[in-house]
Structure 1
Amino acid sequence: MSFQGKLGRRGGTKVKRALGVQAALEWAFRVEKAQLELPVPNDVTEEGFGFGLEYVLMQRAALGCKVDGGQHKMGSYTHADAEVIAAAVAGMPDSLGGIRMAIRVAELARAGLTPDWMPGVVPRCVPVETRQNQHGIRAVTEVVGTERLLTRGKWRTVEVLACPVTWRPHPEQITSARRGYEDWRQALAWVRDGLMVGGILREVEVTAAMPKVRPWKTT
């Protein structure tokens, strides 16, 4: 899929393609195969909007306002705007997860996926272990004590059995998955804001559109 040829003109001015940040990331990483391999300048920190945008600006100035992509695609061209988007992601600050979050954002975009926030999942109380025989599936029990019972005039010692149970998935798993979604969304908001403020994309316009806030909240 080529990005070239999909841009129109209005009154002699090139019309940029408007994309939400998630769509822009998927275009850059999934379609254009952009990579997170831009060098880090020694005198630039990872705070603010990150070194990525600033570095690309410096490189564009040094190269006459043109970044040549393609070094990662073996004979194929990587769109310059895709390289800028990848550079912005690579500059993810530590406060948002740093390089780990940058890699996560890029990998999800490359796969065209949204983080799994476990939609529709409700914790259920289930046996810790089950066994299956000719009578079906039964919960495994364990001895938790003994009791003495008087039956037919005799005292007998009997085992007290209990079925260990657990919650599956555990509520903390669901909470963790949804926290991960929120962290990813915050990272996308940071990339979006940086690209919108930077104003250095030539043929793509990143819009304010964002993935849903807490999509598990139906009301």
Structure 2
Amino acid sequence: MNMAVLERPVLGSARGAALTGVRAPRTGRLAVGVLDLIEWAFQREKVGLDFDEIERETGARPGIGMEYLMMQQAQLGCRVQGGGTSPRHHDADMVAASLACLPEIYGGRRMAVQIAELARVGERPDCLMEAEQRCAPLDWRGTKHGRFAVVEVCRVPGLRWPADQLGKRADGSWCPVGYSVTGREIAAARRRYLSWYGALLHLRHIFQAACHLTSFVVTEAMPPRTPWQRG
């Protein structure tokens, strides 16, 4: 049969919690998850990703040796300047620097931009969690007897039923159908989510082991790894 693909319905991104309520403490260090820290940096401190500036200030080529460079910076007591007219929090600058130097194996600059854009609005990648594959006719027609699928004469060579099997109807009619969302689309969306999750795992390690954060301690907390699996 002619399986033309229906347009997939727009599904909203899988939202995380509401916009972050995290604030840098006046004293001590606050325990936060890696995603909370990133959202704090981009929502409250309004940091941005300026790859040229990060490279100029740190001497680092994004994606290469960031762990070593940040440990060296911590030992020297220096930090990446955030730019702009008002200084941003030290920890927010460290988040931006770490993200800008995300290794290519974890998505590099493209993944860094995706993480930053999602963090600003408190969202997560759309993994099509509520998507359901539905097979439906491509078109419908209304009659006095109700709503029926539109049928047409099959003119595709090799797919038309043999004449001796058509019975009284010799036109070989069929109903073209399509799928609202394909398995390939769902699989691709979930691979993108897992790539985002893997990048967060790497950043969690960087914030825990290589960043000298002054106001936060990064915990093991992570978003769900496979939110589409229930139970």
TM-score (normalizing by structure 2): 0.73
Are 1:53 and 1:84, in contact at CA under 8 Å, matched by a contact in 2? no
Residues 143-183 of structure 1: CA distance to partner in whole angstroms, max 9, x if unpaired? 114747999xxxx8731111122222111111111111111
Question: 1:150 and 1:186 mapped to 2: Cα distance?
Answer: 55
By relative contact order (CA 8 Å, sep 6+), the higher-ranking structure is 2
Greater per-residue strand proportion: 1
Q: Which residue of 2 aligns with 1:21?
A: 34
**Deviation (angstroms), 1:44:** 4.3
Residue 123 of structure 1 is aligned with which of 118, 133, 139? 133
**Deviation (angstroms), 1:93:** 0.9
Q: Which residue of 2 aligns with 1:216?
A: 228
Q: Is 1:102 the equivalent of 2:115?
A: no
2:47 partner SS? coil
Question: 1:167 and 1:92 mapped to 2: Cα distance?
Answer: 37
**Deviation (angstroms), 1:68:** 4.5
1:126 partner SS? strand
**Deviation (angstroms), 1:96:** 1.3
- AA aligned to 1:114 is R
1:158 partner SS? coil
**Deviation (angstroms), 1:59:** 8.9
**Deviation (angstroms), 1:45:** 4.9
- 1:148-187 equivalent positions in 2, closer than 5 A: 158-187=170-199
Quickly say closer, same or farther: Cα 1:45–1:139, change in 2 above 3 A: same
Q: Which has the larger radius of gyration?
A: 1
Quickly say closer, same or farther: Cα 1:96–1:149, change in 2 above 3 A: closer
Q: Which moved more, 1:207-216 or 1:178-187?
A: 207-216
1:159 partner SS? coil
**Deviation (angstroms), 1:47:** 4.8
Q: Is 1:54 the equivalent of 2:64?
A: no
**Deviation (angstroms), 1:218:** 1.9
- Residue ranges of structure 1 left out of the alignment (5+ in a row): 9-14
Q: Is 1:35 the equivalent of 2:48?
A: yes
Are 1:7 and 1:17, in contact at CA under 8 Å, matched by a contact in 2? no
Question: 1:197 and 1:204 mapped to 2: Cα distance?
Answer: 13
Identity between Structure 1 and Structure 2 (%): 32
Quickly say closer, same or farther: Cα 1:197–1:81, change in 2 above 3 A: same
Question: 1:132 and 1:111 mapped to 2: Cα distance?
Answer: 42
- Residue ranges of structure 2 left out of the alignment (5+ in a row): 1-20, 155-159
Provide the aligned C-alpha RMSD in A: 3.2
Residues 112-147 of structure 1: CA distance to partner in whole angstroms, max 9, x if unpaired? 0011111232211112x2145465654332311474
Question: 1:178 and 1:57 mapped to 2: Cα distance?
Answer: 37
2:124 partner SS? coil
1:18 partner SS? strand
TM-score (normalizing by structure 1): 0.77
The total of aligned residue pairs comes to 201
Question: 2:170 and 2:166 mapped to 1: Cα distance?
Answer: 10
Q: Which residue of 2 aligns with 1:140?
A: 150
Q: Which residue of 2 aligns with 1:11?
A: none
Quickly say closer, same or farther: Cα 1:175–1:23, change in 2 above 3 A: same
Q: Is 1:207 the equivalent of 2:219?
A: yes
Q: Which moved more, 1:18-27 or 1:198-207?
A: 198-207
- 1:66-77 equivalent positions in 2, closer than 5 A: 67-69=80-82, 71-72=83-84, 75-77=85-87
Are 1:124 and 1:169, in contact at CA under 8 Å, matched by a contact in 2? yes
